[in-house]
Amino acid sequence: MKSDVQKLESENQKLKSSVDNLQTKVDYLEQESRRMNIEVHGVPETRNEDCEKIVKDLASFLEVDIDLKRAFRAGPMKSDRSRKILVELKSEESREAIANAAKRNEELVASRFSKSWPSKRIYINENLTGYRANLLHQTKMFAKQANYKYVWIKNYNVYMRKTEGDRAIK
């Protein structure tokens, strides 16, 4: 009887390990399928809007040429804020170009594109899987408690650094 329980416990542990490995592979494949996507946050939602035109206007403002595949609002409707715009690009170069230009531009605010929009910042982020978005959120919470100054995403990996000049932790 004891031997049977030990065998079942051992088999259960192997299955848990196998499930963990499969979840890691699925997350990797899902993230890989998003490698040419970005998310645009902070653009007010309007009736009959043209998300592709909005993204092209953003790229023009940032002085970046992009190969746009499509752009659309994603996520559930919320009364207190606008949904993100999910942007699918045709190349990783386009994704990198617009993401890097947005990070360098402090003047990327909604009111620059429409006078009726508020002067709130527009953010362009990587399109993360649920697992990686949660990991980023948890890392930011930890960093705040542990007095880490920097938390960021690069190539879909989460990094943090305590102070300027310190080595980044992945």
Q: Write out pLDDT tens, residues 27-58.
A: 999 999 999 999 999 999 988 999 999 999 99
The per-residue pLDDT for 160 is 94
DSSP 69-133: EEEEEES---SSSPPEEEEEES-HHHHHHHHHHHHH-TT-BGGGT-TTS-SPBPEEEE---HHHH
% of the chain exceeding 70 in pLDDT: 100
Please, which pLDDT band fits residue 78 given cuts at 50, 70 and 90?
confident
The per-residue pLDDT for 44 is 95
Q: What is the pTM of this model?
A: 0.84
Res. 79: pLDDT tops 90: no
Residue recorded with tokens 């004891």: 2
Q: What is the mean pLDDT of residues 60-72?
A: 95
Q: Write out pLDDT tens, residues 93-148.
A: 999 999 999 988 888 999 988 888 999 999 999 999 999 999 999 999 999 999 99
Res. 2: pLDDT tops 80: no
